[in-house]
Amino acid sequence: MKNFFIGIFSTIIVIVLAFNVNSAEILQIAGDSFSERLFQGYSSLYQQQTGEGFRYFISGNLGAISLFINKTVDLVATSVVPTPIDKNQMEDGHLMIPVGGGAIAIVYNLEDVTRDVNLTREQLVGIFTGKITNWQMIDSAFPNRQINVVVRSDGSNNSFILTKYLNIITQGKVSASRLPQWDFQIYSAFSQDSAISGEIKAVDGSIGYISKYMANAKNLSTARIENKQSRYVEPTLQETKKALENITFKDDFTIENIDDPEDGYPLVSLTWLLAKQRYSESNNLNSTIKLLKWVLTEGQKLNEDLGYTKIPESVISKIIEKIDTQLKVYF
């Protein structure tokens, strides 16, 4: 588990650096790699249009929520709804603001194999429970090669999206978790998608899960996953939109269950910005409201170009109304 401790140490370094460089000048957003590409795209255009900026840094979902509870960051980007225990510790309240939908990719490295990897629902479960250990168990035409499973070592949105899907298609036999306790011998674990990408590229026979953006950026092969309609689909924007098009928003802007969508690519989630409701001074409040409203208006125009779905305009108007009425300065 050497990589596990290296990952934790690297995360700590990232957090320390983020708060030692002009941390008081701009809003601080902690998040996971699932939302990284979206906020990278937002950042440059927001500064160009408004003259203001924000800092987005990766801390893993558990780390980001902890930083928010401790009032160390202004906002959190998350694809996981905080637990009741988390919410009870948020002294300044919280508002969940959906900003887009995305996918995680199952990436692999099979050297000298040119045919696509198609994974049934049962095979996906088998790989990530240690029941399927050789590539010939996936397809007899594949080489007699060990499957080397690479996972996230931190409390990750990506891990939760994957295990949540495994949980629903196994009727609860696999636990949904931000920090899974894998019940088999994994090959390696890292706290960043970029590190997982490097490992996949270096290790023949490896397989893992990362954001679709990182899979594209690193030019990694992605598996086609069998969905509820028995179609084998890749994590394209079109298939992500299909999976998310019929979601229903609750009053708090979380959503009804999308663990096994009726069609489209199944390993999907929305991402939210988690904002506090009570502020101690008006400058921070005004900067936060300005950014949130920009993300919900101008920012939405970027979403599809960045590989994410947009939030319906009918929902956005309701969110902005809540931002105007629920975010306040309290002395």
Give the CATH class of 103-244.
alpha beta
Q: How many residues does the chain have?
A: 331
Provide CATH 3.40.190.10 ranges for the chain: 2-102+270-329, 103-244
> Structure pTM?
0.86
**pLDDT value of position 189:** 97
Q: In what order do the strands lie in the sheet with 232-233?
A: 118-119, 224-226, 232-233
Q: Which pair of structure tokens corresponds to residue 146?
A: 């060990």
What residues have CB less than 8 Å from 237, skipping those under 6 apart? 304, 307, 308, 309
CA pair distance 102, 34, nearest whole angstrom: 8
For 87-100, the pLDDT digits (tens) are: 999 999 999 999 99
Check: CB of residue 129 under 8 Å from CB of residue 184.
Answer: yes
What DSSP assignment string belongs to 31-89? Answer: E-GGGHHHHHHHHHHHHHHHS--EEEEE--HHHHHHHHHTT--SEEEESSPPPHHHHHT
**pLDDT value of position 122:** 98
Comparing CA positions, the residue from 200, 173, 46 lying closest to residue 111 is 200
**Is the model's pLDDT at 288 over the cut of 80?**
yes
For 119-138, the pLDDT digits (tens) are: 999 999 999 999 999 999 99
Q: Which pair of structure tokens corresponds to residue 211?
A: 């954001």
Estimate the share of the chain in helix, then strand, then coil, as percent rounded to the nearest 5: 40, 20, 40
Tokens 């920012």 belong to residue: 299
How is domain 2-102+270-329 classified at the CATH fold level? D-Maltodextrin-Binding Protein; domain 2 (3.40.190)
